[in-house]
Every structure is written in structure tokens, then in C-alpha cells.
Amino acid sequence: MTNKNIYLIFSLILIFQMINPSLSIKEWWEETKIQILNDDNFYDVVGKDKYVVVKFFTKWCMYCKLMAPEYEKFYELYLKKRDDILIKKIECSNNKVCIDYGIFAFPFVGLFFPGSKKLKSVFKYKRSADFFDKWITLVAPKKNLKSNKKIEKEEVDDSLAGGNMTEIEDYITKQFSSVKKDLKNVLKHIDEITDNGKKEINLVNTNEDNDDEDVIEIKITPFLIVKVILFFFLFKIVFYYIKNCLFEHHSLPTKIHQKN
């Protein structure tokens, strides 16, 4: 093949690429679906209402090139998995943001929390999509967890507004009523012992089905009295704590608010 034919072929290729620029050869950093940030739009994304994972890279970095496919897989995974996390990257050859954060070794992957422009976590593990996923799962809990709890709380309030609260309250009251009665009887006996100056008492439990009597002898000592009193006050504290926790929404309106 003569030089003339070679020049002709190259000329045709150049003309074809000019006509169809979409078929031109792209550099490795251009073959991506991830938004490439710069100094102008970096803080339009970082520090807002979502987690932001940013890869800092350079065009000449071979390790950045090797990591690029795994970072793309990580991006595709989190498009479906988490809507509260953005996956971005920035090229550091001509952007001052990288210098501001003191990043001079590449690739560098960092995580920004919602509402913060400070780097909260730096990725230091194997550069694969699986390890990126494990890292984010560990350091970036779901941002909507609080709102989910609020929604669940509202659903519980709505479910209890129809009268179920009264049934629950009655059940717990019945369960503790017998215990409270027994404690009152014990305290009554303690008062009798204290007034009469006695140190011990026999409590007789009569079984109506049998003629025999089961006699239980309990020695009442000052130490036992103190223990019973402490147990009684502890019981009251636990009882009212449980009751307040379960019935704190009892006074809420029973009408279920419907979203427009």
C-alpha cells in the first residue's frame, strides 16, 4: 500500500468522524454515566440534603483508570439501591477544589454528609464495587430513618385511635392489679408488726378443698421490711414508666389525617 493510499484512508476516517462526531473515540474518563463536577458546580451538589460520594481523579493516573469500571458498577448499583446518595467525581488537573481539600494522591474517594461540606469518611479499602457498597452501608446510614420512624409513629397513633388503646390499657391494668393488691397486703402486715413491736408473723393459707392447713412461717426483720418497701417503689416506677410510654399518645385526636 502506497503512502498516497494511506493518506486517503486517514482522510476518509477524519471526514467520517466530522460527519458523525458521536462515533469518535473517547478517552477513558469520558466513558462514564457519572456527572463530572468542577469548581463551578461542586458546591451545588455537596453540602445539600443528600449524601455525596466523590471520586477525585486525574487523567494521567493509571490507578484511576483501573478503578473506573468498578466505580461505574458502584454508581449503577446505588441508582437502584439508595435515592439519598449521589455518586459523583471530579478531575483534579484544573480544579481548585482538590487543592482546597488537600488531595494530592489519586484516586481518592470521600464521603460528604447531608448539610456538610467537610469530608466525613475516606475510602481506604479494595477498589471494587462490593467494597464501595460495604463502606457506604457502614458509614452512611439511611438519611430517611428518622422520617420513617415518624411515619411509623403516626401509623401507630392512627391504629390506636379507634379504641384499641383502651383495650391495651385495661389488659395491662388487670395484669398489675393483683400484684398491687398483694403488695398492699404485705405492707399492711408490716404496719401491724411495726405497731405491735413483733419480729415475726405466721401467714396461714387455708385450702378449702382439703382439711389440712399449709402454714408458711415468714420471719419479718427490719432488713426484709426495707427490701419490700424498696421493691414496692421500684415496681411503681416501672409501672408508671411503662404506662406513660405506651399511652403517651392517648390524648391525641382520633381523626386520621389524610394527605391531600
pLDDT in tens, 23-61: 556 789 888 999 999 999 999 999 999 999 999 999 999
CATH of the domain at 68: 3.40.30.10
pLDDT at residue 189 tops 70: no
Q: Are both 114 and 162 inside the same structural domain?
A: no
Q: Is the pTM of this model over 0.75?
A: no
Query: Hey, which residues does 203 pair with through a beta bridge?
Result: 216
CA neighbor of 187 nearest in space, from 142, 233, 148, 150: 233
Largest CA distance in the chain: 129
pLDDT at residue 225 tops 80: no
User: Can you give the pLDDT at residue 152?
Assistant: 46
Q: Are both 130 and 175 inside the same structural domain?
A: no
CA dihedral of 145, 150, 154, 157, whole degrees rounded to 10:
100
If you compute the radius of gyration of the chain from its CA atoms, what whole number of angstroms results?
Answer: 37
Q: Does residue 257 form part of some domain? A: no
Q: Are both 102 and 163 inside the same structural domain?
A: no
**pLDDT > 90 fraction of the chain, expressed in percent and rounded:** 42
Task: Report the alpha-carbon distance of residue 225 to residue 186 in Å, rounded.
Answer: 9
Cell reading at 51: 449524601
Q: Does residue 4 form part of some domain? A: no
Round to the nearest angstrom and report the end-to-end CA distance of the chain.
75
Cβ proximity of 256 and 178 under 8 Å: no
pLDDT in tens, 107-164: 999 999 999 999 999 999 999 999 999 999 999 988 554 444 554 454 444 444 444 4
Q: Are both 56 and 126 inside the same structural domain?
A: yes
Asked which of 102, 125, 143 is the last residue of a domain, the reply is 143
Q: Are both 43 and 92 inside the same structural domain?
A: yes
pLDDT at residue 171 tops 50: yes
Q: Are both 164 and 182 inside the same structural domain?
A: yes
Asked which of 119, 143, 167 is the last residue of a domain, the reply is 143
Task: Report the alpha-carbon distance of residue 224 to residue 171 in Å, rounded.
Answer: 31
Asked which of 124, 143, 162 is the last residue of a domain, the reply is 143
Q: Does residue 122 form part of some domain? A: yes
pLDDT at residue 17 tops 90: no
Q: Are both 43 and 108 inside the same structural domain?
A: yes
Q: Are both 158 and 72 inside the same structural domain?
A: no
Domain that holds residue 173: 149-246
CA neighbor of 97 nearest in space, from 62, 49, 46: 46
Q: Are both 189 and 228 inside the same structural domain?
A: yes
Task: Report the alpha-carbon distance of residue 46 to residue 69 in Å, rounded.
Answer: 23
Q: Does residue 12 form part of some domain? A: no
Cell reading at 248: 403517651
Q: Are both 114 and 194 inside the same structural domain?
A: no
Q: Identify the band that residue 14 occupies on the pLDDT scale cut at 50, 70 and 90.
A: low
Identify the helix (H) or strand (E) that includes residue 215: strand 213-218
Q: Are both 92 and 191 inside the same structural domain?
A: no
Q: Does residue 68 form part of some domain? A: yes
CA dihedral of 238, 241, 246, 248, whole degrees rounded to 10:
170
Q: How many structural domains is the chain composed of? A: 2
Q: Are both 77 and 106 inside the same structural domain?
A: yes
User: Can you give the pLDDT at residue 114?
Assistant: 95
Task: Report the alpha-carbon distance of residue 123 to residue 128 in Å, rounded.
Answer: 11
Q: Does residue 61 form part of some domain? A: yes
Q: Does residue 163 form part of some domain? A: yes
Q: Does residue 48 form part of some domain? A: yes
